[in-house]
């Protein structure tokens, strides 16, 4: 599958960044621009997100395969692969399946374990929003308040709303039906488990609950050459909450 991507910077290391569920390459433009001052940065839209193609197949094996195809198509040598949340699971699955295809990996606020579905209310709202009758983004925000009380999360979700100039109506940049149908797969464990020897940096938000102390044993078994950095004052969206600290930690790891 040919993924949509944005590229910034030239020279240095090749960095590939994958967003999380309901996200897109757009979310990484500021971070990408900063990292692009020293490196070549590719920010991808994963399948069923952003401007990448849609597919009824939506699981980590497929998304890891998409990443492999992208690397081969663009002749990218030994990239550093970076993934947040769902994107973190994609890069971990990629590392299991193609251990020789990258040099280092950064996993942002996700562990290689099963997570129960916790986006049910959001998906209920996205499915219930009547795009045919929707007049404005503000109306969408008001409607979504019933399903998600956090304003920041709502704004993040509504970045996926765009007005189709051909029809004059709003549409989603995410494949809401397929994501809804496969949301349990987003929480699944990895497949094809094996120990990966390359250096891996796990970054967690100090206020996030996604990586727990007891997860370190599993992380060590799969990624024996790992480091774990906690960025205090950051939640699950570490890179959005503490961008300067995030870039500093990632840069130090890339250059080490």
Residues acting as catalytic residues? 85, 236
Token pair, residue 212, equals 């727990």
134, burial (CB in 10 Å: exposed 0-12, middle 13-18, buried 19+)? middle
* Tokens, residue 252: 């130090």
CA angle 34–35–37, rounded 5-degree value: 70
CB 47 within 8 A of CB 66: yes
Burial degree of 185 (CB within 10 A; 0-12, 13-18, 19+): middle
* CA nearest to 171, candidates 160, 181, 182, 180: 160
Residue 246 gets which letter from DSSP? H
Q: What is the C-alpha separation between 238 and 108, in angstroms, rounded?
A: 8
Cβ neighbours of residue 79 under 8 Å, at least 6 residues apart?
13, 14, 15, 16, 42, 71, 102, 103
């Amino acid at each position: 599958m040919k993924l949509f991507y944005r590229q910034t910077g030239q020279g240095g290391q090749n960095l590939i960044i994958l967003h999380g569920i309901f996200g897109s390459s757009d979310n990484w433009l500021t971070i990408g621009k900063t990292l692009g001052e020293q490196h070549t940065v590719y920010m991808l839209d994963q399948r069923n997100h952003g401007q990448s193609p849609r597919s009824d197949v939506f699981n980590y094996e497929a998304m890891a395969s998409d990443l492999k195809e992208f690397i081969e198509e663009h002749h990218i040598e030994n990239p550093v692969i970076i993934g947040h949340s769902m994107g973190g699971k994609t890069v971990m699955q990629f590392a299991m399946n193609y251990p020789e295809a990258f040099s280092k990996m950064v996993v942002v606020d996700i562990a290689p374990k099963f997570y129960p579905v916790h986006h049910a209310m959001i998906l209920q709202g996205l499915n219930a929003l009547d795009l045919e009758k929707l007049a404005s983004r503000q109306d969408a925000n008001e409607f979504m308040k019933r399903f998600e009380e956090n304003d920041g999360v709502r704004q993040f979700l509504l970045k996926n709303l765009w007005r189709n100039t051909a029809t004059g109506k709003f549409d989603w940049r995410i494949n809401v039906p397929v994501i809804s149908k496969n949301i349990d797969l987003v929480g699944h464990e990895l497949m094809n488990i094996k120990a990966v020897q390359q250096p891996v940096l796990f970054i967690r938000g100090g206020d996030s609950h996604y990586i727990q102390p007891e997860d370190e044993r599993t992380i060590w078994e799969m990624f024996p050459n790992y480091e774990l950095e906690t960025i205090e004052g950051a939640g699950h969206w570490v890179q959005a909450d503490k961008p300067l600290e995030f870039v500093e930690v990632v840069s130090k790891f890339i250059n080490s």
